[in-house]
Amino acid sequence: MTEANSHITCPHCGTELPAGSTVCTNCGKPLPERKWYSLKGLNAAEIFLLILGSLMLLIGLVAV
């Protein structure tokens, strides 16, 4: 368990692959980039707050 975060799971077939893989060795489908995983690491609430925050900023700019 030295590199727990160095494994990714194929979203298509669920096979565990070493981090950095670009194509699944089992189903051959391309894997999403790391950004996708970091985004998934965010809570839904955190993403909601981010969107809400930018919306409030926009409304504030329009209102003035």
Over the range 6-29, which residues count as b (16 or more CB within 10 Å of their CB) and which as e? eebebeeeeeebeeeeeebeeeee
- Is 27 or 47 the residue whose CB approaches Zn ion more closely? 27
For Zn ion, the binding residues (CB under 5 A) are 10, 12-13, 15, 24, 26-27
The CB-of-8 to Zn ion minimum distance in angstroms stands at: 10
β-pairing, 7-9 with 16-18?
antiparallel
The CB-of-9 to Zn ion minimum distance in angstroms stands at: 9
- Is 26 or 54 the residue whose CB approaches Zn ion more closely? 26
